[in-house]
Amino acid sequence: MSQSPAPRRTLGRPARISREQVIATARRIVDADGVDRLTMRRLATEIGTTPMALYHHVRNKDELLVALLDDYAERALRRPELPGDPRGRVLAAAAAIHEALAACPWITEVLTADDLMSTSALWFVEQILDGLIACGLTPDRAVHGYRAIWYFTAGEIIVRTTATRRRTDDDRPTYRERVFADVDPDELPRLAQAAGRWAALTAEDTYLDGLQALLDGLLAAH
């Protein structure tokens, strides 16, 4: 009758907090107050433990952020209806990744990881690879093509989000504005010509155009 209740097979002091709990609480903080307010100390007190205890469940803050991105991708990356033609599949998969990432701009510091290798993103990578191969690329070239698409996508997100971030927490004239003011129209006529419209032009979302151009170029190269 009095069997040992669920015989504990784990050695050592039992854990009071779990990695899942850490990540979930971190997510709550980020959702509520933004990623800037996520500190290990606050996370610890909200969980009811000490900062260093967290380090038994995440290796460091960076890994925690990666885990957050993973967690986010798991929920936000819903697999869309993909078109039948392979080119369209590649576009749709890449656009879906881009859309999900653009929606949570706090991951910039994490995004510089090698690949977007969240488990839940793998399906999208698979679609891109498969689409590229169906378009006639060799498997090896398809991997390179995926990388190129990833460079472009990650670069767009990173550059765009940090640009807007700097613009918000800084009201002095932009570095850009100062630079443009110095442009000599005789020496740099195209820049001088574009100077007035630069801000407006770079504010436009041209990700899809660029993605299509890149993809067309990749496919045209056989």
Name the site residues for its own copies (rule: CB under 8 A): 66, 108, 112-115, 117-119, 122-123, 125-126, 129-130, 133, 139-140, 142-145, 147-148, 150-156, 158-159, 162-163, 166, 174-176, 179, 182-183, 187-191, 193-194, 197-198, 201-202, 204, 206, 209-210, 212-218, 220-221
Asked if 50 touches DNA (CB under 7 A), the answer is yes
In whole angstroms, how close is the CB of 17 to DNA at the nearest point? 4
- Which stretches within 59-138 are classed as H helix? 61-76, 86-103, 108-111, 122-134
Please give the Cα distance from 110 to 117 (Å, whole number).
11
In whole angstroms, how close is the CB of 169 to DNA at the nearest point? 10
Asked if 165 touches DNA (CB under 7 A), the answer is no
| Near DNA by CB under 7 A: residue from 1, 2, 3, 10 | 10
Candidates 49-57, 76-84, 101-109, 184-192; binding stretch for DNA (CB under 7 A): 49-57
Q: Which residues of 120-152 are buried (b: 16+ CB within 10 A; e: fewer)?
A: bbeebbebbbbbbbebebeeeebbebbeebbeb
Q: Which partner from the list its own copies, DNA, none does 40 bind, CB cut-off 5 to 8 Å by kind?
A: DNA
How would you class 182 by CB atoms within 10 Å of its CB: exposed for 0-12, middle for 13-18, buried for 19 or more?
Answer: exposed
Please give the Cα distance from 143 to 102 (Å, whole number).
23
